[in-house]
Amino acid sequence: MNKVGRTVVLEQFSESNSSGELEECYTTLEELLITFVQARPILWDYRIPIQERSKSNRDRLWKEIFEEFGENPELPIDFLQKKWKNLRDTYIRLRNEYTPSGAPSKKKKEVGIL
C-alpha cells in the first residue's frame, strides 16, 4: 500500500463559494478525518453511555467514515483508525504539556542516588 502524503488534497470535498469558484475547504487527510470523526461523538465522547458506544456501533461509524473517503483502497478502515488514535494521543500529550503564561512550572522528578 502506498503511503498517503500529509498534504493530500481531496478534490471531491471542494465547495463552491458565492462567486462560483471552487474553494478547497479541507487540505489534508488529517483535517478531513478530524471533521468526520467530530461529527460522530460515539467515537470520541466518553460521556455517552457505554451501551451506545458498543463495538458494533463504532464499527458501523468507522465504515461510514471509510465510505466518506470514497472507499479508497489506500485508506482502509484500520489505517483511518490508527491515524485517528495517533492524532488524538498527540493532541492529549501536547495539551497536558502546555503551561499557561505566568503559571508556575511543573516540578521535575528528582533522580536519587543509591
Distance (Å, rounded) from C-alpha 80 to C-alpha 107?
37
Model confidence over 34-85: pLDDT tens digits? 999 999 999 999 999 999 999 999 999 999 999 998 888 888 999 999 999 9
Model confidence over 95-105: pLDDT tens digits? 888 777 777 77
pLDDT at 11 over 70: no
CB 70 within 8 A of CB 12: yes
Residue 70 has what DSSP assignment?
A: T
Gap between the terminal Cα atoms of the chain: 51
Band of residue 22 on the pLDDT scale cut at 50, 70, 90: very low
pLDDT at 8 over 90: no
